[in-house]
Chains A and B, each alone.
Chain A
């Protein structure tokens, strides 16, 4: 994997293997908070923030603690522990120093503790055996991919609200159809950069 350029990793993480539409990970926040553009952006920003930091920390813990001790099988438990604590820490930190950001992200930060996309990003950089820098770029790519898709989806859903949707499809069913069509569109990128 090391022959792929950082830019390749970034684009592949963001678009080609989009975490939501191609890997179908993180669907819960994708459908849950995409009702309004404002909340979609808030969630997306929180994901960028948490995913980057947690990927960096999990990379260090995996490569310098788990691998030398031969305890790779513990990665699920450790990563969840790390992510949950990090989210708490970030919440405290932001409350003190960036109260405005804290107010706008407020509700979404605790939600991220259980966001599987964050855990997936940590697992994937382990699977690809990335270097530290590559893992960081990968995490940023994945989270940017998440925010792009959730913003696109929120835009569509805001329009769906006023569209004459058949009664049986109103609400989540039509949202799932929309997401499926978006996923088909993203399948068109398959194979680019070979990641």
Chain B
């Protein structure tokens, strides 16, 4: 009985093992070894930032169609360099960008009380959204659901905050946002315009305290002439901007603000201010 059991199970195992071994050889699909190597190097998040269907699709496209090896923003410089080594081609990452929500939305008024499906997409299809500004972030979190990298911090009803260290610029949130309030901005940018409204100045001023109403003060004061007004909205040319921050100080509605890149750059100045404040405080006491 025991012998039979061993023979039978061993036999079946052997037969199937043999069949599988033969099949693996016979049905083998020739794959370029570089493709498998590439697939192992790619992040494997299948985010689609490169524009190909997943990491395997991108690896295949690089081998077979000679796709640009610098498209993997999720992997960053390190990955792209390794890809370049494997392909024996010059590969450089396109400038790293991060997504930003371009809406200040402080004390934004509501056009009407929206009761319905709790999604931006659904809310935006009802009379152009419930916020009084049609460029305003609706704050229902469609972008948060779309993000594969857990890079968006958000409380229901509030404007989401994108964590630049985690953002890979894959563009999923931009696709998901029905009001197109999320844009990609160079990571090294030190200031940005936190408003996406193309409405005329006075009408912006009426409904929003944080919106750009195209007063042109920043255009006038920018020493590098990096800011222009396009369609009633200040636009910063990052190839010229040197991050001096004059526009931030001059902006009357506080629409142009620093990114976290800037505040980390001048520890000296800030500590001086802090010291002054402290000494004043001690004097008073």
Contacts and interface: CB of A to CB of B under 8 A. Distances in A.
Contacts, number: 50
Interface string B79-112: 0000000000000000000000000000000000
A61 B119 CA distance: 54
Given A69-B4, A89-B19, A89-B20, A81 B27 contact: no
Nearest to B23: A92
Q: Which of A65, A66, A89 has the most CB of B within 10 A?
A: A89
B9 A78 contact: yes
Interface in B193-241: none
Contacts of A81: 9, 12-13, 16
A1 interface: no
21 contacts: A61-B12, A65-B8, A69-B8, A70-B1, A70-B4, A74-B8, A74-B9, A77-B9, A81-B12, A81-B16, A82-B16, A85-B19, A88-B20, A89-B19, A95-B27, A95-B29, A96-B29, A99-B29, A162-B119, A162-B122, A164-B117
**9 closest Cβ contacts across the A-B interface?**
A85-B16, A96-B27, A92-B27, A92-B23, A69-B4, A95-B29, A89-B23, A162-B117, A88-B20
Interface in A58-90: 61, 65-66, 69-71, 74, 77-78, 81-82, 85, 88-89
Interface of B: 1, 4-5, 8-9, 12-13, 16-17, 19-20, 23-24, 27-29, 117, 119, 122
Contacts of B27: 92-93, 95-97
Nearest to B118: A164
A66 B7 CA distance: 12
Interface residues of A, number: 22
Nearest to A99: B29
Given A81-B16, A162-B122, A93 B23 contact: yes
A82 B12 contact: yes
B48 to A, nearest CB: 16
A78 B12 contact: yes
A99 B13 CA distance: 28
Given A61-B12, A78-B12, A162-B117, A71 B19 contact: no
Contacts of A74: 5, 8-9
A146 to B, nearest CB: 25
Given A78-B12, A99-B29, A162-B119, 4 more contacts: A61-B12, A74-B8, A85-B17, A95-B29
Nearest to B116: A164
Contacts of A92: 20, 23-24, 27
Contacts of A89: 19-20, 23
Nearest to A84: B16
Contacts of B5: 71, 74
A66 B12 CA distance: 11
Nearest to A89: B23
Contacts of B8: 65-66, 69, 71, 74, 78
A71 B11 CA distance: 14
B114 to A, nearest CB: 13
A162 B5 CA distance: 55
A30 to B, nearest CB: 24
A71 B9 CA distance: 10
Contacts of A71: 1, 4-5, 8
Contacts of B16: 81-82, 85
Contacts of B13: 81
Nearest to A93: B27
Contacts of B119: 162
Nearest to A106: B56
Contacts of A66: 8
Nearest to B28: A96
A81 B5 CA distance: 14
A164 B117 CA distance: 7
A96 B12 CA distance: 25
A77 B11 CA distance: 13
Q: Which of B9, B16, B17, B24 has the most CB of A within 10 A?
A: B16
Q: Which of B1, B9, B23 has the most CB of A within 10 A?
A: B23
Contacts of A65: 8, 12
B196 to A, nearest CB: 27
B193 to A, nearest CB: 34
A152 to B, nearest CB: 23
Contacts of A95: 27, 29
